[in-house]
Amino acid sequence: MTIFVKNKHSLIIDEFKFRCCIGKKGTTANKKEGDKKTPKGTFEIENLYFRRDRKQKPSTLLKCIEIKKNMGWCDDIRFPKKYNKLIKIEKRIKHEKLKRKDYKYDLLIPIKYNFKKPTTGLGSCIFIHLTKDFKPTVGCIALKEKDFLIMLKIIKKKTKIKIY
């Protein structure tokens, strides 16, 4: 099964077509850290991370991981061994905080872009997460919560995402 993101406004799985938003500067085959672009290509997806204090565990075949206060995703090019990985938050390491004040990461799925052996500077923290207003992201793909929950019921561990 594949999730298709064919343009900056639509995410398609099977017969479902959802409105989405992507990086502020569109898509690219040459992703760089901080370029505000969504990487083009076909990628595997990771586990579902969710805020148990705000959401009940959704119905999905993905492994579900509760987001804790000390969880971050490293986007610090000075730490190649931790780059683009889930980390325990440390002040000296730049990171994307998973337990945010806003709602955007109440549900999130990391996209396995630059993932297995991450190359520092090629981009990190590319997630499928929530939006309420469809404003462009800094490189992620965002959906309304109701669509995200439908998507979770359809996708499986082996589902891939293809971004054009």
Q: Which residues contact 126 (CB under 8 A, 6 or more apart)?
A: 38, 39, 110, 111, 113, 114, 139, 140
Q: What is the pLDDT of residues 66-121, one digit of tens each?
A: 999 999 999 999 999 999 999 999 999 999 999 999 999 999 999 999 999 999 99
Number of C-alpha atoms within 13 angstroms, CB side, residue 14? Answer: 10
Q: How many domains does the chain have?
A: 1
pLDDT of residue 7: 82
Percentage of the chain with pLDDT > 90?
98
Model pTM score:
0.96
d(C-alpha 96, C-alpha 100), whole Å: 9
Q: What is the overall mean pLDDT for the chain? A: 97
Token pair for 40: 């083009």
Number of C-alpha atoms within 13 angstroms, CB side, residue 16? Answer: 19
Residue 125 is part of which domain span?
2-163
Q: CATH number of the domain that 100 lies in?
A: 2.40.440.10
